[in-house]
Chains A and B, each alone.
Chain A
Amino acid sequence: DTAVSQTPKYLVTQMGNDKSIKCEQNLGHDTMYWYKQDSKKFLKIMFSYNNKELIINETVPNRFSPKSPDKAHLNLHINSLELGDSAVYFCASSLRQQGGGELFFGEGSRLTVL
């Protein structure tokens, strides 16, 4: 069983569309994250949730809206997609919020905006 799974793996869409990426973890972790990796492989945190509560929101445009229906799921909805949103989006989880522990990453969702 995959520990952190995200869907879809690839997403190609037109500018202005709205899209969602889903993430689920079966590790029983309390904390989940969304990271964005650009074409130069730079990885930047976007959001984190701890037990469904938003903890980190890193000055991400409000076109990006995370939703955590329960602590095992963290979805990312993006409105009015722009060319600059093209990137690989990674979901990750950690056992708990405190302590800066090990992150477990999903395989990534590559978003291409045309």
Chain B
Amino acid sequence: SQQGEEDPQALSIQEGENATMNCSYKTSINNLQWYRQNSGRGLVHLILIRSNEREKHSGRLRVTLDTSKKSSSLLITASRAADTASYFCATDAAGSGNTGKLIFGQGTTLQVKP
């Protein structure tokens, strides 16, 4: 079954630096979403990008989508210690029968050092 793969698995940066996480997937999609999970907490939705969009911004977040390469990237600019969390991409596969099923990647663990 389709599964997102994220790269890198872990990332450690200094506060103020930018963090880039990548996600690749296998089949055509309707949309791709990014979620954040703080340690011991539930996932929180960050941003959704549709298959006909190439780039989307939300505050310090920038998401790109390249459907020809079946990949997406999440850029967090001017990172803060509070951005320390795991980040997951999730895809809504085209032709999934409108079940609303999202397939999650394995996540990137980001540590931002103060």
Interface residues of A (CB under 8 A from B): 4, 31, 33, 35, 40-45, 48, 50, 55-56, 90, 92, 94, 96-108
Which residues of chain A have C-beta atoms less than 8 A from B106's C-beta?
A: 40-42
User: Are the C-beta atoms of A108 and B42 separated by less than 8 Å?
Assistant: yes
Which residues of chain B have C-beta atoms less than 8 A from A45's C-beta?
A: 101-103
Interface residue total, chain B, C-beta cutoff 8 A: 27
Among the stretches B59-67, B68-76, B92-100, the one at the interface with A is B92-100
Which among A100, A102, A105 is the interface contact of B30 at CB below 8 angstroms? A100
Which residues of chain B have C-beta atoms less than 8 A from A92's C-beta?
A: 43
Residue of A nearest to B48 (CB): A102
Interface mask (B4-46 → A, CB under 8 Å = 1, otherwise 0)? 0000000000000000000000000011010101001111110
What is the bound-complex CA distance between A42 and B103, given in angstroms? 10
User: Are the C-beta atoms of A43 and B100 separated by less than 8 Å?
Assistant: no
Shortest beta-carbon distance, A49 to chain B, in Å?
Answer: 10
Which among A42, A98, A108 is the interface contact of B98 at CB below 8 angstroms? A98
Which residues of chain A have C-beta atoms less than 8 A from B41's C-beta?
A: 107-108
Interface residues of B (CB under 8 A from A): 30-31, 33, 35, 37, 40-45, 48, 86, 88, 90, 92, 96, 98-104, 106-107, 109
Q: A41-B86, A41-B107 are in contact. Are A105 and B44 (CB under 8 A)?
A: yes
Which residues of chain B have C-beta atoms less than 8 A from A35's C-beta?
A: 104
27 pairs of residues in contact across A and B, judged by CB atoms under 8 Å: A4-B42, A31-B100, A41-B109, A43-B88, A43-B107, A45-B101, A45-B102, A45-B103, A48-B100, A48-B101, A50-B100, A56-B100, A56-B101, A90-B42, A92-B43, A97-B100, A98-B100, A99-B100, A100-B31, A100-B33, A100-B92, A100-B96, A101-B48, A101-B100, A103-B45, A105-B43, A108-B40
What is the bound-complex CA distance between A108 and B86, given in angstroms? 15
